[in-house]
Chain A
Amino acid sequence: MTAKVDIIIVGSGASGAAAAWRLSQDSNLSIVCIEQGRESNPAQYPTTKADWERDKQRSASFDPNVRANKADYPIDNSNSAISLANFNGFGGSTILYSGHFPRFHPSDFATYKLDKVAEDWPFDYQTLTPYFNQNEEMMGVAGLVGDTAYPEYENLLPPVAMGRGAKKLAQAFNRLGWHWWPSYSAINTKNHQNRPPCINLGPCNTGCSQGAKGSVDITYWPQAKLQGVQVMTECRVFDIPVDKELKATGVKYYDKHGDEQFLAASLVILACSGIGTPRLLLNSKSELFPNGLLNNYDLVGRNLMLHPLAYVEGVFDEPLDTSIGPQGCSIYSQQFYETQEDRGFKRGYTLHVLRGSSAVDSACSGYITRRIPLGKNHHQAFSQYFNHNMGIAVISEDLPDPENRIELDYSKTDSFGMPGIKVHYSLHENTKKMLEHGIEQTKKLFAEAGAKISAAHYPVKHAGWHLMGTTKMGADKTNSVVNEHGQAHEVSNLFIVDSSVFITSGAVNPVATAQALTLKFCDHISKNIKSWVV
């Protein structure tokens, strides 16, 4: 290993991959990405076997405490209304995500200006638009232009087929006069970027063995590697040393043998997720930063936003093959996305239409909820539920609150002895009203479609996928951790380029916006590279 490189990127997930690709377009730069997990082999994903749903409960679980891989770190959710989910490996959580890929909306960047809640972002939707477009080209995003919930889109592949169940809901949306549209999906519907179209295997959330889902290990990374980025997997960064001039000198990490190493760099870029990034900063203590790097104003780890979900399920009388197709991508509605004062809450939510549950999920949830009995009536009840049911997730905007936070948990450590995290998180009254409203509207929709409600509740406990806000962006260093370029206020050669910097959460899956933001930040870094790299 070279004694010093130009740029170290910590984390190879959605943002780390986009950063590696963008920055390595300058072939003069030496760039190393350090990733704590291993590279996955799609040929060994659970869905290559008939019993893939067993692995979903274990090795492919989205709960790191269940998965307990060497790369995972303990997460104590005991003081949180929602349990956090992630995947620690090459490609990050895009390996297990559903591929639902909407952008933030113009109003999401101006919540204070419009609604007097939270704070505005230092730039607007228009500023991010070229980066959204660039990112969607790289990831391969299916959808349909003309959506009335957004300004115009570019670069969309044909939409993912909605399926017979969603068609019933679409007709119901129309009768109610509500917005709906085909989902924006990072799923190839035709050959794109040397990847094949989706053949509707369905269980995207355990890894797409076919390669149609746009996870960054097969989108950004092949090109970034060709452009010269070196990736070091199974290496865990645990400290970012800072010199007396307040410059990061590189990173300390444990290599795959558990030996401590140091790699020097001119520029350090963090992309470890909304919990991994603050965890690393909090663990990087020094005389200058006794409470953790960039944490002299007690901001690192705070303002955690998670998108609390409500879930409503309907069951149709007739079989509709609802379990067939990409599980998380079909149609969606933003009828209730923008603030309307008479609803009694600020901001709004997305109605995210999901496909029906899988065979094992149907049987197990049916047993737990007593909808499907054991014994001689089991098969009849199962046959009236499986392929008849559909779920709708109400994805609420989560407003920032400093008390919602993560902190280091010294009582539980990872495989290298680094502290795990403890989560402190509760729902705002505004969020509760929003979710209750969402449940009522979704029930109305299912009734209009002719389905019977079989479940309706909030918050969904094991749904903390969207990790945002824990090193917020802003102009004032006493109120934010990084500036409008993702550059740390207090350490000028340290950047954070993931969703940790989000100021607000929107009410859509964050990855499209996170990656667009990464590309914007890296554009700035690239244009000003001589400020850090001689």
Chain B
Amino acid sequence: MSLSQFLDVVLPSDTSLNMPSATDLHIDKAVANLLEPQQIEEFLFILNNVAQEKFSNSLSSLDEKSYLLCIEKAKRVDVYLVNYIVQQCLTAYYTHPSVLTKIGSGAVPPFPDGNSLESDDWLLLEDVYERGPIYRKVI
């Protein structure tokens, strides 16, 4: 069981939304740069143990539903580590320029152009203005 296989399960592709999988983008390498090797080893060790205890099977042979259940159960062993690893995977995925473009996050750094926002209709403030001052005067 590798980090890459883990990423395949938690961040698969979605063709209907044109979203690539984490492994399509080699996110495992980015995640590896964010984590200590021991953290990854320990995390996978915990997951494998949970798979054995819960399903009497290896993690890699589980279906998606069972796999995701293992992640939930693994939180009971070390919630800090599991959440930390998952969040680092999400961070690596959602900082990839290709992903940022596909989700519509606007201009991607180094920001040559910036983002445009539509002009506002400040006539909306007429109602507020017509009600008059609301601050307390100090006399």
Contacts and interface: CB of A to CB of B under 8 A. Distances in A.
Interface in B102-139: 103-111, 113-122, 124-125, 127-129, 131-138
Nearest to B87: A364
Interface residues of B, number: 57
A210 B109 CA distance: 11
A50 B97 contact: yes
A73 interface: no
Contacts of A151: 135
B86 to A, nearest CB: 6
Contacts of B113: 199
A177 B134 CA distance: 12
A76 to B, nearest CB: 20
A319 B105 CA distance: 12
Contacts of B90: 360, 363-364, 367
A201 to B, nearest CB: 5
Most chain A Cβ neighbours within 10 Å, of B64, B67, B93, B106: B106
A144 B134 contact: no
Given A54-B34, A374-B11, A367 B86 contact: yes
B100 A50 contact: yes
Contacts of B94: 53, 359-360, 362-363
A386 B128 contact: no
Given A179-B128, A324-B117, A334-B134, A49 B91 contact: no
Interface in A138-161: 144, 146, 148-151, 159, 161
Nearest to A334: B134
A173 B134 CA distance: 15
B110 to A, nearest CB: 5
A164 B103 contact: no
A202 to B, nearest CB: 7
A376 B138 contact: no
Interface string A34-72: 000000000000011111111001000000000000000
B96 interface: yes
A397 to B, nearest CB: 13
B14 interface: yes
A379 B116 contact: no
A50 B95 contact: yes
Contact of A114 (B19, B68, B138): B138
18 contacts: A48-B110, A49-B110, A105-B135, A113-B138, A114-B138, A148-B128, A148-B132, A162-B120, A167-B120, A177-B131, A179-B131, A182-B120, A338-B136, A358-B105, A363-B90, A367-B90, A379-B14, A380-B17
Given A53-B94, A173-B128, A359-B105, 8 more contacts: A48-B109, A50-B109, A53-B95, A124-B138, A167-B120, A199-B113, A202-B115, A364-B91
